[in-house]
Structure 1
Amino acid sequence: MKQQIIIKSADLFLNLGFKSVTMDDIAHEMGISKKTIYQHFDNKTKLVEAAMLHVFENVACGIDHIRELNVNPIEEIFKIKQFVMEHLKDEKSSPQYQLQKYYPKIYAGLRIKQFEVMQSCVKQNLQRGVELGLYRDSINIEFVSRIYFNGMLALKDQELFPLKKFSMNALMEHYLEYHLRGICSPKGVEFLLSLNQLKPTN
């Protein structure tokens, strides 16, 4: 039952937001009493923490599976982007922004975990790209990987990028173009265009 509560709560939080979803809502959706939830979680904060850790672990596991496919590094970036967007419901409720605002301690802990996963993933992607001649061999991998991570966080800042002006999917597309145009070699840009992911520059 505990795992079922975590899974349902995570789905509701991602779809509707952390603030609007109450313990009553979760109990109603599951057809159980609120008392049953409190048997497993002392309060909503504990449930939010468990739910978001569950989401993080699922996303990290999915990213690992994509990395194991050992596809072209440029393709890998787009596959990971598609997987993450689908898993986070296209971030319709901007969960990371809400998590930071209403549950800052949980957000801070997850941010450390996200950084560790992304550093490993992005650095490996950059190294393979350089070895295959798709990325410029002059890039500073340590610098680019950290800029990439911080840029991803910035996209979820609604004060910088309000959802009324920018959909998360569009932001991700623009950001990947910005990132890849900056690091790709001529060979990499040629491959990028062959994927029809980006428009040729004039």
Structure 2
Amino acid sequence: MREKILHNAAEMFLNLGFKSVTMDDIASSSGVSKKTIYIHFSNKTELIEAVTSYLFDTICCGIDMIHEQEQNPIIELFEIKKFVLHHLKDEKSSPQYQLQKYYPKIYLTLKQKQFEVMQESIKENLGRGIEQKLYRENIDLDFIARIYFNGMVGIKDKDLFPLQEYSMNTLMNYYLEYHLRGICTQKGIQELENQLYN
């Protein structure tokens, strides 16, 4: 039952936002009473904490599976982008913005976890890209990984990039191209252009 509540709550929060979804809405969509939800989660904040953890673990698990396919690092970044967008519903309700505004402690904890996982993941991607002569060999892996993370967080700022003007898919495509053009060799640029064309 806990899993079902988490899954339904995650869907609703991503589609409608953390602020506007009530415990009544979640109970109704899960086909249970509010009392049942309170058996598993003592309040909405605790449920949001559990949902962000659940989404984080689901996305990490999917990214690990993409890594295991050992595709070339440029294709891998585009595959991860597709996977993340699918799971975050194209971020139509700007969940990160709402989390930051209304649940800042949960947001900061999640951001720290994302940073740690992404640093490792991006450095590994950069290392393979250099080996495969897709990325320039003189890049500073730690710096690029940090800049990449900062940019990914930055494009989700809806004051900077209003969702009426940019879909999350468009923003992520622009950002991936921007990132890759800065680090690719000529061979890498050709692979990037194939990806953009496809």
Both structures adopt the same fold (TM-score exceeding 0.5): yes
- Report the residue type matching 1:181 in the other structure: R
1:5-24 equivalence runs, <5 A: 5-24=5-24
Corresponding residue number in structure 2 for 1:101: 101
Corresponding residue number in structure 2 for 1:118: 118
The size of the alignment, in residue pairs, is 198
Corresponding residue number in structure 1 for 2:35: 35
- Report the residue type matching 1:144 in the other structure: I
1:52-76 Cα shifts (integer Å, max 9, x gaps): 1000000000000000111000000
Structure 1 consecutive aligned stretches of length 4 or more whose deviation exceeds 4 Å:
none
Deviation, 1:150, is 0.4
1:91-120 Cα shifts (integer Å, max 9, x gaps): 111111111111110011111110111011
- Provide the rounded CA distance (Å) in 2 between the counterparts of 1:191 and 1:176: 13
- Provide the rounded CA distance (Å) in 2 between the counterparts of 1:182 and 1:174: 13
Corresponding residue number in structure 2 for 1:55: 55
Stretches of structure 1 that go unaligned for 5 or more consecutive residues are none
Deviation, 1:177, is 0.6
Is the 2:155–2:171 Cα contact (8 Å) retained in structure 1? yes
Corresponding residue number in structure 1 for 2:45: 45
Deviation, 1:30, is 1.5
Corresponding residue number in structure 1 for 2:127: 127
- Specify the SS of the correspondent of 2:135: coil
- Report the residue type matching 1:11 in the other structure: E
Is the 2:129–2:135 Cα contact (8 Å) retained in structure 1? yes
- Provide the rounded CA distance (Å) in 1 between the counterparts of 2:157 and 2:165: 13
- Provide the rounded CA distance (Å) in 2 between the counterparts of 1:16 and 1:55: 16
TM-score calculated relative to the size of structure 1? 0.95
- Report the residue type matching 1:29 in the other structure: S
- Report the residue type matching 1:177 in the other structure: E
- Provide the rounded CA distance (Å) in 2 between the counterparts of 1:194 and 1:15: 32
- Provide the rounded CA distance (Å) in 2 between the counterparts of 1:142 and 1:198: 30
- Report the residue type matching 1:95 in the other structure: P
Is the 1:177–1:198 Cα contact (8 Å) retained in structure 2? no
- Specify the SS of the correspondent of 1:84: helix
Is the 2:177–2:192 Cα contact (8 Å) retained in structure 1? no
Corresponding residue number in structure 2 for 1:69: 69
- Specify the SS of the correspondent of 1:192: helix
Report percent identity of matched pairs.
61
- Provide the rounded CA distance (Å) in 2 between the counterparts of 1:92 and 1:163: 7
- Provide the rounded CA distance (Å) in 2 between the counterparts of 1:169 and 1:2: 31
TM-score calculated relative to the size of structure 2? 0.97
1:166-187 Cα shifts (integer Å, max 9, x gaps): 1111100100010000000011
Deviation, 1:198, is 5.4
Corresponding residue number in structure 1 for 2:150: 150
Stretches of structure 2 that go unaligned for 5 or more consecutive residues are none
Could you tell which deviates more after superposition, 182-191 or 56-65? 182-191
Deviation, 1:194, is 2.8
